């Protein structure tokens, strides 16, 4: 993409104004309402309510990510920061408000737990601790977020 000079200057101005008024603009990252995630570039995993039960994008240890896996990490990065970071912490590092999702085992058991939580959310004593995302995210987005978390360093 070509960006001409005036567009560049406008972008710089924008960046500067955000830098100048971070608090008043409420731009604390991850502070946004739940929203759908753009999954363009990811092949469809199938429509409907029947989701895969194992993360299809999982990168096994020592493997280089293929194109779908690379795209999944990108989609998951955005999806996580838009929908999960405000409770689970920026870049997957929990501040203590909700569990640190980097430590959820990258295996079938972890997938089952993850799927249940992300689709149904968590309620306790009538209170919503975590909202359900079944109507907001498709399975490509959900597994992309899981893949992103699995690639975050654990320390
Ligand atoms: C409003 C805050 C909030 C948001 C937003 C939120 N969660 Fe949670 N989540 C929680 C809390 C609190 C828990 C712990 C619930 C409990 O007590 O078991 C939790 C638990 C989980 C668990 C189970 C973790 C474990 O170790 O037991 C998973 C998986 C999870 N969330 C995934 C996500 C994902 C993925 C997103 C974004 C799509 C997300 N959550 C968005 C608050 C949130």
Out of 12-16, 41-45, 59-63, 85-89, pick the least confident: 12-16
Can you tell me the mean pLDDT for 87-115? 97
Helix 139-151 crosses helix 67-83 at what angle (to 10 degrees)?
A: 90
- Evaluate: CB of 130 within 6 angstroms of ligand 1: yes
The answer to whether position 16 is within a domain reads no
- pLDDT tens digits for range 7-54: 555 555 555 444 444 343 444 455 568 899 999 999 999 988 899 999
The DSSP string of 129-141 is EE---TTT--HHH
Contact 80, 92 (CB under 8 A): yes
Q: In the structure, what pLDDT confidence band is assigned to residue 90 with cuts at 50, 70 and 90? A: very high
Question: Taking 60 as the threshold, does the pLDDT of residue 72 lie above it?
Answer: yes
- The span from the CA of 145 to the CA of 35, in Å, is 13
The answer to whether position 9 is within a domain reads no
pTM (predicted TM-score): 0.84
- pLDDT tens digits for range 123-134: 999 999 999 999
- Evaluate: CB of 59 within 6 angstroms of ligand 1: no
- Evaluate: CB of 110 within 6 angstroms of ligand 1: no
Contact 82, 133 (CB under 8 A): no
How crowded is the C-beta side of 101, counted as CA atoms within 13 Å?
A: 27
Number of domains in the chain: 1
- Evaluate: CB of 148 within 6 angstroms of ligand 1: no
Looking at residue 102, what is its pLDDT?
98
- Output the domain CATH number for residue 60: 1.10.760.10
The answer to whether position 8 is within a domain reads no
Q: Whose CA is nearest to atom 41 of ligand 1?
A: 84
The answer to whether position 76 is within a domain reads yes
Give residue 118's domain range: 32-151
Looking at residue 2, what is its pLDDT?
54
Q: Whose CA is nearest to atom 26 of ligand 1?
A: 99
The answer to whether position 142 is within a domain reads yes
- pLDDT tens digits for range 130-150: 999 999 999 999 999 999 999
Distance 117 CA to ligand 1 centre (A): 7
The answer to whether position 69 is within a domain reads yes
Looking at residue 21, what is its pLDDT?
41
The answer to whether position 5 is within a domain reads no
**Averaged confidence pLDDT in the chain:** 86
- Evaluate: CB of 146 within 6 angstroms of ligand 1: no
Residue whose structure tokens are 């975590």: 130
- Evaluate: CB of 83 within 6 angstroms of ligand 1: yes
Looking at residue 47, what is its pLDDT?
86
Question: Taking 70 as the threshold, does the pLDDT of residue 56 lie above it?
Answer: yes
The answer to whether position 6 is within a domain reads no
């Amino acid at each position: 993409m070509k960006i001409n000079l005036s567009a560049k200057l406008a972008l710089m101005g924008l960046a500067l104004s955000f830098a100048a008024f971070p608090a008043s603009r409420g731009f604390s990252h991850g502070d946004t309402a739940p929203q759908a995630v753009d999954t363009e570039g990811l092949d469809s995993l199938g429509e409907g309510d029947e989701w895969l039960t194992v993360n299809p994008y999982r990168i096994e240890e020592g493997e280089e990510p293929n194109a779908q896996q690379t795209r999944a990490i990108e989609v998951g990065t955005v999806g996580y920061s838009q929908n999960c970071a405000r409770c689970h912490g920026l870049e997957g590092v929990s501040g203590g408000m909700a569990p640190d999702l980097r430590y959820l085992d990258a295996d079938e058991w972890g997938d089952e737990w993850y799927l249940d939580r992300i689709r149904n959310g968590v309620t306790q004593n009538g209170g919503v601790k975590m909202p359900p995302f079944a109507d907001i995210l498709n399975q490509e987005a959900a597994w992309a977020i899981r893949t992103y978390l699995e690639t975050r360093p654990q320390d």
